Amino acid sequence: MSNRLQGKRAFVTAGAVGIGRACALAFAREGATVIATDLDEKTVALLTRDGVAETAKLDVRDTAAVEAMAKKVGDIDILLNAAGFVHHGTALDCSDEDWDFSFDLNVKSMHRTIRAFLPGMLARGHGSIVNISSAAGVFKAAPNRYVYGATKAAVAALTRAVAVDYITRGIRCNAICPGTIETPSMLDRAAAAGPNGRELFVSRQPMGRLGTADEIAALAVYLASDESAFTTGQSFFVDGGCSSALS
């Protein structure tokens, strides 16, 4: 621990597993007081064993619950929005319900938490918001990631908009665009691709391996900390070279 986030309070959504969990734990290791939330109350509660100060159940699709949580939590310095869902399929596979669910969970959830926590950040004159987008959709499309890619491009645009609107008021907002990261839902998607699904996913990686959630959390710590004080409105790719390598 080098206390890069000493004295800061961080709020994390979808913190029970995967990238959200890794970010919550990394923030705590760096000295932040972390409040980690998730729909899965039991699993997120396990993080208190590893230095997370508080955990709570929070459905980021529930506006009233997000607003009530923000009131209860009070001032924060760091907001990490991790909640997201990967819908598999093309435009023809995406019903109106699929579209609405994906935009509600992947994009509107971030609108909800930002609206709930931003006034407190503005009152204190500082805050760092980190949104988890994806390498799929922001600049390049991935096959069968029609609505998912659209939501993640929207996350990058929402991130830039918040950054621009509050650039003179001490608020920074950045996004991280992970490639294929080994998390529970990613392993489910690999399993759905067949018995050798994981190998198939690995074979698409220019580095010959999947990314880890800790490799995303490392950048989240930097963006959350004052080390990145001159950085806002950006979307950073952590994708093992996927988006730049020739296929």
| Catalytic residue set | 148
* Distance (Å, whole) CA 73 – CA 69: 6
Give the sign of the dihedral formed by CA 117, CA 98, CA 185, CA 218: negative
Name the minimum Å distance from CB 210 to ligand NAD.
8
Sheet holding 171-178: strands in order across? 54-57, 33-38, 9-12, 78-81, 127-132, 171-178, 235-238
Instruction: Read off the amino acid at residue 182.
Output: E
Instruction: Give, as ranges, the residues between 115 and 174 that touch ligand NAD (CB under 6 A).
Output: 132, 134
CB of 73 to ligand NAD, least distance (A): 15
Neighbouring CB atoms inside 10 A of 38's CB total 27
CB of 70 to ligand NAD, least distance (A): 14
Backbone angles phi, psi at 181, to 5 degrees: -115, 135
Which positions from 210 to 239 touch ligand NAD by CB under 6 A, shown as an x/- string? ---x--------------------------
Question: Going residue by residue from 170 to 209, which x/- string records binding to ligand NAD, judged by CB under 6 A?
Answer: --------x-xx-xxxx-----------------------
* 236: β partners: 176
Q: Which residues would be at the binding site for ligand NAD (CB under 6 A)?
A: 13-14, 16-20, 38-40, 58-61, 82-84, 86, 105, 132, 134, 178, 180-181, 183-186, 213
